[in-house]
Amino acid sequence: MSNETVRTTLNQMLYKYAAQRGDILGKIQDCRIVLDDAEANLKRAHEDDRRAIHDDDQLVTKMRDLMAYYNSLPNDPPRPQALLEQHAEMGREQLGTHRKRIAAHEVVSDATHTLEDAKRELAIAERDEKTISERIRETNAEIERLNQEP
C-alpha cells in the first residue's frame, strides 16, 4: 500500500473519529444537563422530605402533648370530651402527614437513583470521549509520521 493510500485511509479515519467525537461531546453536554437537573431535583426532594418529616413529627408531638395533658386531668370532674375528639381529629390528620412523609422519602430515593444514573452516563460519555480523543491523537501522529517520510 502506498503512502498516499495510507494517508487517505488515515484521513478518512480521522474524519470518522472527529464525527464520533462531536457526537460524544454532544452527549456529554446532554449528560451534564441531565446531571444538573437530577442534582436540583434531589435537592428539592430532600427539602420536601425534611418538611414532611418536620410536619409529621410536629403533629405527633402535639398529639402526644394533648394526650399527656388529658391524662394528667383528674377524673372528677369528668375530663373534657372535646380533648379526645381533638386528639382523634389530629390522628386522622396524622395519617395524611405520615403518607406525605413516606411519599417524600420515596421521591428522595427515586431522585437519588436518577442522580446516580446521570453520573454513570456522564462518566461513560467522558470515557468514550477520552478514548476517541486518543484515537484522534494516534491517527494524527501517524499522519505526521507519514508526512515526514520521503
pLDDT digits (tens, 9 = 90+) for 59-109: 999 999 999 999 999 988 899 999 999 999 999 999 999 999 999 999 999
- Average pLDDT of 35-45? 98
pLDDT digits (tens, 9 = 90+) for 41-50: 999 999 999 9
Distance of CA 41 to the CA centre of its chain: 6
What pLDDT does 149 receive?
77
What pLDDT does 1 receive?
60
Helix, strand, coil in percent for the chain, rounding step 5: 90, 0, 10
Q: How far apart are CA 20 and CA 129, in angstroms?
A: 9
- Average pLDDT of 3-25? 94
Could you tell me the pLDDT band of residue 148, with boundaries at 50, 70 and 90? Answer: confident
- Average pLDDT of 122-149? 94
pTM beyond 0.85: no
Inform me whether the pLDDT recorded for 12 exceeds 90. Answer: yes
Exposure of 120 in the CB half-sphere (CA atoms within 13 A)? 6
- Average pLDDT of 15-44? 97
Rg of the chain, C-alpha, whole Å:
32
77 burial via Cβ count (<10 Å: 0-12, 13-18, 19+): exposed
The hierarchical CATH code for the domain 3-148 is: 1.10.287.2610
